A = this chain, B = another copy of it.
Amino acid sequence: MTNPSPEIAPAPSVRLPTREGVLRAAAKMNALLPHTPLLPLELPDGNIAWCKAECLQPMGAFKIRGAWHRLTELTEEERARGVVAVSSGNHAQGVAWAARRLGISATIVMPSDAPQIKLSETRRMGAEVMLYGRLTESRDAIAAEICAERNCVLVHAYGDPWVIEGQGSTGIEIASQMECFAGGAPTRIITPAGGGGLASGLALACPDAEIVPVEPDGWDDISRSLAGGSIVDVGANPPPTSCDALQAIATFPINFAVMASHGMKGVAVTDAEVRAAQAYAFSKLHLVVEPGGAAALAAVLAGKVSVDGRTAVVLSGGNVDPAAFASVIADI
């Protein structure tokens, strides 16, 4: 496997994400959609994990939050020019969903090996999809070219202050739901992590909670970056992973700054642990969770992160091809 294209920086942004921005995004989400539930899940040891079921968002993942927050704060001129996004699928669908609702044209650069369900849903929602070879082409270079040609805004999947704030609205909901059902603030939030958009948003939303980003084995660049004190990428030959949604090459400074100052430490999970978590969510929660969306639960079930009575586990997405899901539940 050749080295995937290095990430390039998004358009320079004059601002950093803030907790006020997270609260503003949460207020917008409140008005837009029902809260996804925080479901009590009995673990095999009898403990309860509180699962934030983001796979129940209309397009099947938390990505709708960041996309909505970003697109609703474009200027009229920016709206008219349309937006571009780069995504393996969930961010694509989030941007497509928000763009359709707001009447903005969207172009999404997606890898040709993305799950069929993610490609077809993105197109169904009216976005223009441009495919690229994950191993041979730079998706960011393609996106940058389109943006330059059309003078339009790039909605980065994680390295963007609005996107981070939008994803953080998940944490505001978790906090109010945990207060209501477990009698206090969340002590710990365990979350799947690709580029770190959600993890950094959760840190802004819940500054007093421990945030644990979970990555696939061999794609644990955030864990290693946090441990080493500076950003490293996944390296030359990352192994195959079922977690298509978590295949980010490196986090961005805007994410790293928030995660590092929060004192986060990450963990990594295997594909087998992820499959076990998908099967557990099927049997016990009756939820369809995609591989990347099950990474945080995988870490809990594998005993890599513990839960207390006020630990939240984010199930971040549910867009999985039927055949792949059938193979997972065949193991039960």
How distant is A125 from chain B, measured CB to nearest CB, in Å?
Answer: 10
Task: Return the chain B residue nearest A318 by Cβ.
Answer: B286
Q: Tell whether A14 is near chain B: CB-to-CB under 8 Å.
A: no
Which of A36-44, A190-198, A254-262 lines the interface with chain B? A36-44
Contact code string A110-139 (vs B, CB < 8 Å = 1, else 0): 000000010000000000000000000000
Contact B322 A329 (CB under 8 A): yes
Contact code string A29-65 (vs B, CB < 8 Å = 1, else 0): 0000111111110100000000001011010100000
Q: Tell whether A151 is near chain B: CB-to-CB under 8 Å.
A: no
Contact code string A6-36 (vs B, CB < 8 Å = 1, else 0): 0000000000000000000000000001111
Contact B282 A56 (CB under 8 A): no
Q: Which of A278-332 contact B (CB under 8 A)?
A: 279, 282-283, 285-289, 318-319, 322-323, 325-326, 329-330, 332
Given the complex of chains A and B, what is the CA–CA distance between A319 and B319 in angstroms?
Answer: 21
Given the complex of chains A and B, what is the CA–CA distance between A127 and B332 in angstroms?
Answer: 23
Q: Tell whether A251 is near chain B: CB-to-CB under 8 Å.
A: no
Q: Tell whether A225 is near chain B: CB-to-CB under 8 Å.
A: no
Give how many copies assemble into the complex. 2
How distant is A184 from chain B, measured CB to nearest CB, in Å?
Answer: 15
Contact B34 A56 (CB under 8 A): no
Of the candidates B35, B39, B181, which one forms a contact with A56 in the assembled complex, judged by CB atoms under 8 Å apart? B39
Task: Return the chain B residue nearest A327 by Cβ.
Answer: B326
CB-CB under 8 A from A40, the residues of chain B are: 33-34, 58
How distant is A25 from chain B, measured CB to nearest CB, in Å?
Answer: 18
CB-CB under 8 A from A39, the residues of chain B are: 34, 56
Q: Indicate whether A322 sits within 8 Å of B34 (C-beta atoms), given known contacts A39-B56, A40-B58, A287-B288.
A: no
Beyond A34-B37, A34-B40, A288-B288, 10 additional contacts (C-beta under 8 Å) are A33-B181, A37-B56, A39-B56, A56-B285, A282-B288, A283-B322, A322-B332, A323-B330, A326-B326, A326-B329
7 intermolecular pairs with C-beta atoms under 8 Å apart: A34-B39, A60-B286, A279-B322, A282-B288, A322-B329, A322-B330, A326-B330
